[in-house]
């Protein structure tokens, strides 16, 4: 894996932008580590297209809140008491107590996103 930081401070992994600064990258990693340390299982699904603004509204209606400390223009974190989402342009990663329900939720959200773009 290749790691780079450009002149604006944007952090890249394998030439893909990950975070606009190391501070945002550290916040993102801290949230991931917290979830992993709690033994919460995760599942990831590839998205067919970028997440639409309408999908973000659906997440809010479902009770998800955006974690602004860990989110940035490349990744957004959406949290509830039992399910946590990390969304990029091509990937939706779901942490939940039950990996089967996490997988199902990711697939349903991706399907909703596909129908709303």
User: What contacts 46, CB < 8 A, 6 or more positions away?
Assistant: 90, 91
pLDDT for 49 equals 72
Mean pLDDT (10-residue bins), the chain, 117 residues: 95 93 94 85 74 83 92 91 82 74 76 72
pLDDT of residue 100: 63
Q: What pLDDT is recorded for position 87?
A: 87
Q: Model's pTM, two decimal places?
A: 0.78
* Residue 86 main-chain phi, psi, to 5 deg: -120, 120
What pLDDT, on a 0 to 100 scale, did the predictor assign at position 117?
56
DSSP state of 75: -
The domains of the chain, with CATH numbers, are: 3-115 (3.30.310)
State residue 26's pLDDT score: 95
According to the model, what pLDDT value does residue 108 have?
Answer: 82
């Amino acid at each position: 894996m290749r790691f780079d930081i450009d002149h604006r401070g944007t952090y890249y992994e394998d030439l893909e932008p990950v975070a606009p600064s190391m501070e945002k990258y550290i916040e993102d990693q801290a949230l991931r580590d917290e979830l992993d340390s709690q033994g919460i299982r995760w599942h990831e699904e590839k998205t067919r297209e970028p997440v639409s603004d309408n999908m973000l509204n659906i997440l809010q209606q479902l009770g998800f809140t955006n974690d602004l400390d860990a989110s940035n223009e490349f990744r957004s974190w959406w949290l509830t008491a039992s399910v946590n989402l990390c969304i990029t342009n091509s990937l939706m990663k779901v942490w939940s107590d039950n990996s089967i329900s996490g997988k199902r939720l990711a697939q349903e959200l991706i399907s909703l996103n596909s129908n709303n773009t």
